[in-house]
Amino acid sequence: MKKEAVEKNNNSVGIVETKYFTFAEPPKELLLDGGQRLGPITLGYETYGELNRDKSNAILVCHALSGNAHAAGFHAGEEDAGWWDSMIGPGKAFDTTKYFVICSNVIGGCKGSTGPASINPKTNKPYALDFPIITVSDMVDAQKYLIDHLGIDKLLCVVGGSVGGMQVLQWVASYAPRVRCAMPIATALKHSPQQIAFDEVGRQAVMADLDWREGDYYGKSQPEKGLAVARMIGHITYMSDQSMEEKFSRRLKDKNYSFKFKTDFEVEGYLHYRGDNFVKRFDANSYLYITKAMDYFDLSGDKLIPAGKQIDTRFLVIAFQSDWLYPAYQSQEIVRRLKTRHVDATYCEIKSTYGHDAFLLEVDEETHLIKHFLDKTFRGYDVRTYGA
């Protein structure tokens, strides 16, 4: 959303800036799931609203694959709002007059947090493929250090869609006593073979680009063609057949077929546009690392809540009818697992033609559900505790 449109609504968090937190300095590096140690680690993060006196109003927003810490407001001199600006701000779903909202870039990312493009202190060169393989659990462990740094003992809510929803589930699996309520949106307990397959095709597109150079392309040219193709493949899965028909149908860019291998159809031009823009803002190696973490993610069976363990975390699980990348049955499986463990879980399936992208676009429906659920969870805290 452009700045002018938000300003007219007068409900933006305004100008914000990314902050940075560094931890895991040697010899106290973070032990990763893969057995390697990583440190020092820097997390880029942003906050919106104010933390109340008893620190009971904190909400952690977890971003999806191509997201970052910039979830709301504007960076000085830039026109585009944060990726979830429609949901975060005064009077919005995550009302910053009531709540303190945090969003951090995941480790392995390329927008302020330590990842393959970061400088390896042992070589003074970018890590590239020397960066260790990471998991969603590693991402959450790093976020936990940030939450500790902010002095927050218990989060009111952890929320996110897609791989952000995986992080939500991992927070409960790893740190349930520190989460009052959880909102996994359009996500799954584990990737299906089809989801793994799409990720692998995207990775192979990147690695087949001659400019990838086994990951050692920093200071040279990024594998733009391969990364653009990966993004094009991904973007097809984010939409639905109906949304693509409504948006493009078989409309041509020109009046007639070119009878050449050119971009004849509007949908082709749209995919090229998406791919070309993605390579300007994202690192190819980060794409490889994050998609691999998504494929490794598995909280099926008793892994989410081990046998014999009881948790008090409340759940709101949201799915979308036209989402074929993370179909509703996967969200329903999350709820079934929770119900068998007698967890307070609410399931909402929103009618939408947008496909997986619906979690970013169905603002009114999500706002109604989330506002009510958050208010019910937060009720009982004295509103006089707001502020410094």
- What gap in Å lies between CA 302 and CA 299, rounded to an integer? 7
Query: Which of 263, 291, 319 finishes a domain?
Result: 291
Res. 383: pLDDT tops 60: no
E strands of the chain, at which residues? 19-23, 30-31, 37-38, 41-48, 58-62, 88-89, 94-95, 100-104, 119-120, 125-126, 155-161, 179-185, 314-320, 345-350
Q: Is 323 a catalytic residue?
A: yes
The CATH code of the domain that includes 240 is 1.10.1740.110
In percent, the amount of the chain with pLDDT more than 70 equals 95
**One-letter amino acid of 215:** G
Of 70, 191, 235, 356, the active-site residue reads 356
Helices 136-149 and 284-296, axial angle in degrees (round to 10): 100
In this structure, the answer to whether residues 169 and 201 fall within a common structural domain is: no
Query: Which of 269, 291, 313 finishes a domain?
Result: 291
The CATH code of the domain that includes 132 is 3.40.50.1820
pLDDT in tens, 87-118: 999 999 999 999 999 999 999 999 999 999 99
pLDDT in tens, 179-226: 999 999 999 999 999 999 999 999 999 999 999 999 999 999 999 999
In this structure, the answer to whether residues 355 and 207 fall within a common structural domain is: no
Res. 8: pLDDT tops 50: no
In this structure, the answer to whether residues 122 and 248 fall within a common structural domain is: no
Q: Is 138 a catalytic residue?
A: no
Number of domains into which the chain is organized: 2
pLDDT band at 295 (very low <50, low <70, confident <90, very high): very high
For residues 137-148, average pLDDT:
98
CB 84 within 8 A of CB 60: no
Of 323, 331, 352, 357, the active-site residue reads 323
Q: What is the CA radius of gyration of the chain?
A: 21
In this structure, the answer to whether residues 94 and 186 fall within a common structural domain is: yes
In this structure, the answer to whether residues 281 and 142 fall within a common structural domain is: no
In this structure, the answer to whether residues 306 and 180 fall within a common structural domain is: yes
In this structure, the answer to whether residues 156 and 249 fall within a common structural domain is: no
Confidence at residue 1, expressed as pLDDT on a 0 to 100 scale: 52
pLDDT band at 234 (very low <50, low <70, confident <90, very high): very high
Query: Which of 244, 269, 291 finishes a domain?
Result: 291
Res. 6: pLDDT tops 90: no
In 3D, which of 221, 195, 215 has the Cα closest to residue 288?
A: 215
Strand 125-126 and strand 119-120: the pairing is antiparallel
**Reported pTM:** 0.95
In this structure, the answer to whether residues 180 and 205 fall within a common structural domain is: no
In this structure, the answer to whether residues 281 and 335 fall within a common structural domain is: no
In this structure, the answer to whether residues 55 and 145 fall within a common structural domain is: yes
pLDDT in tens, 37-51: 999 999 999 999 999
In this structure, the answer to whether residues 253 and 185 fall within a common structural domain is: no
E strands of 53-93, at which residues? 58-62, 88-89
Residue ranges making up the domain that contains 282: 197-291
pLDDT band at 154 (very low <50, low <70, confident <90, very high): very high
Which residue matches tokens 């040279």?
220
Q: Is 240 a catalytic residue?
A: no
Of 113, 118, 162, 286, the active-site residue reads 162
Q: What single DSSP character describes residue 257?
A: -
pLDDT band at 386 (very low <50, low <70, confident <90, very high): very low
In this structure, the answer to whether residues 217 and 112 fall within a common structural domain is: no
Largest Cα separation within the chain, whole Å, is 69
- What gap in Å lies between CA 311 and CA 173, rounded to an integer? 10
Res. 4: pLDDT tops 80: no
